[in-house]
Amino acid sequence: MKNERLINDYKAFLDKGKTERECVAQIISLAQAAGFKDISECQSLKAGDKVFVQKMNKAIALFVVGSDSIEKGMNILGAHIDSPRLDVKQNPLYENDFLVYLNTHYYGGIKKYQWVTLPLAIHGIVCKKDGSSVNVCVGESAEDPVFCISDILPHLAQKQMKEVASDFISGESLDLICGSGIPSKKDDENSDKKDKPSAKKAILAIIKEKYGIEEEDFGSAELEIVPAGAARDLGFDRSLILAYGQDDRSCAYTSIRAVLEADSGKRTSCCLCVDKEEIGSVGATGMGSHFFENALAEVIARLPEGYSDLSLRRCLAACNMLSSDVNAAFDPMNSDLFDKANASFLSGGIVFNKYTGSRGKSGASDANPEFIARLRGLLDKANVKYQMAELGKVDQGGGGTIAYLAAKYGMNVLDAGVSVLSMHAPWEITSKEDIEQAYEAYKAFLTLE
């Protein structure tokens, strides 16, 4: 491993950024330390200036202004910072036969059975009617309690074991155990229910004492359930990383680092980190929104030539973009799912996906070969390792990224990211070599003219 500092910083980023809000907070802190300013603080911009624009604390765009006219386009690294998880519902707390649960709704493409019997943590924010808010992070510190979803013991699981994997754990059964009560004695069964202790009330009292949160405050909360624990080295040789959320924070972090360390050149550099990719890039903070073009409009309005819609459109059409998103790593234990000649391998370097989509490239962004050839030449010159791949065999699977939403502007877009084993599982696997090669590739890409 050549860049141990990068790897350690990356693991620390994963540990502190298990939600989109936590990622954006870290990115802003890193950006400000590197000389970036909130665009609201800048009345005008010139070559060399560094600014950021954020949206709802869940999406952010960083810009390093180049010396060329903005109409000549930018070099963009675009990633997403949301990951599959469980979300707490708005009326979540209930008691069922002396156990207290939080009701959840899963987010993104998960295998539901992978989330049971794991130590889980709660991250997020609770917004109160008086305008105040409470940040929540429970389960990460050694002193914290953790939470768990129970499963049936094998002795009683004969029926469950006959069901298909997609069905034997239902979405409505992914509820989090967050406390317990003591069963009443038989003599007390007919006593006044008002006199019986309530485990739910006891949990609410703890929550109110520790956080000042009432039960109705869950209605304006954004609480995410994620695996508890830190990123760890994997294997005797420590060549791999085991961590939650590496899809797509492996690409987001390396893209951010590349832009933070980029020198001002002719073309403006941009790093875009958006939300909601795992559920279709929807909402005000997803790539399907107008966040990116609105952020760019704010930049153009502060440049000497001033804003016009034509300048904005010309800029977008002239951009080059790497959709910094992960690809499925070849799995020797399930090799029949892959076309081995067109698969990506752990430690094989950054992965170029000419197209994504599924079943006849449906929903794909299909990159132009001229653009790919320029990138190949650039990375060969920079001695960066890369591989060409697709996500599984034809008709076997497939997937999508934010690339097609950027391509609608007419820019050059290519998916380029890190290989991931056990993608979308609570704990995902990447190679340290690939993290380093992605970082080097993104740095080289920002010099493209």
Q: Please, which residues have CB within 8 angstroms of residue 411's CB and are 6 or more apart in sequence?
A: 73, 76, 316, 317, 318, 319, 320, 321
Pair (391, 282) in one structural domain = yes
Burial degree of 194 (CB within 10 A; 0-12, 13-18, 19+): exposed
Q: Is 239 domain-assigned?
A: no
In this structure, the answer to whether residues 286 and 391 fall within a common structural domain is: yes
Domain-embedded: residue 357: yes
- On whether both 110 and 76 belong to a single domain, the answer is no
The answer to whether residues 25 and 111 belong to one domain is no
| Cβ atoms of 385 and 348 closer than 8 Å | yes
Spans of the chain, pLDDT less than 50: none
Q: For position 133, what pLDDT does the model report?
A: 95
- Give the count of domains, the chain: 2
pLDDT at 188: 58
Q: What CATH number does the domain containing 288 carry?
A: 3.40.630.10
Residues 252 and 361 reside in one and the same domain = yes
Taking the whole predicted model, whether its pTM rises above 0.75 is answered as: yes
Same domain, yes or no: 51 and 199? no
Q: Is 338 domain-assigned?
A: yes
99 and 121 share one domain: yes
Identify the domain boundary among 200, 227, 254.
227
**128-174: per-residue pLDDT in tens?**
999 999 999 999 999 999 999 999 999 988 888 888 888 889 999 99
User: Domain range holding 98?
Assistant: 85-227
Q: Are residues 89 and 45 in the same domain?
A: no
Q: Which of 358, 332, 344, 438 is nearest to 389 (CA)?
A: 344
CATH number for 173:
2.30.250.10
Are residues 21 and 92 located together in one domain of the fold? no
Among 175, 192, 227, the domain-final residue is 227
In a domain? residue 237: no
Among the three residues 199, 227, 255, which one is the final residue of a domain in this structure? Answer: 227
Question: What's the pLDDT at 185?
Answer: 67
Q: Report the pLDDT value the prediction gives residue 46, as an integer from 0 to 100.
A: 96
Residue 392 burial (10 A CB sphere; 0-12, 13-18, 19+): buried
Ramachandran assignment for 208, one of left (phi > 0), alpha (psi -120 to 50 degrees), beta (any other): alpha
Give a yes or no: residue 173 inside a domain: yes
**Structural domain contains residue 176:** yes
User: Quick one: pLDDT at residue 195?
Assistant: 60
* Domain contains 234: no
Q: Same domain for 278 and 425? A: yes
212 and 316 inside one domain: no
- 185 belongs to a structural domain: yes
Give the per-residue pLDDT at 193.
59
Q: Indicate left, alpha or beta for 56 from its phi (over 0: left) and psi (-120 to 50: alpha).
A: left
Q: What CA–CA distance (Å, rounded) separates 311 from 317?
A: 10
Residues 335 and 422 in one domain: yes
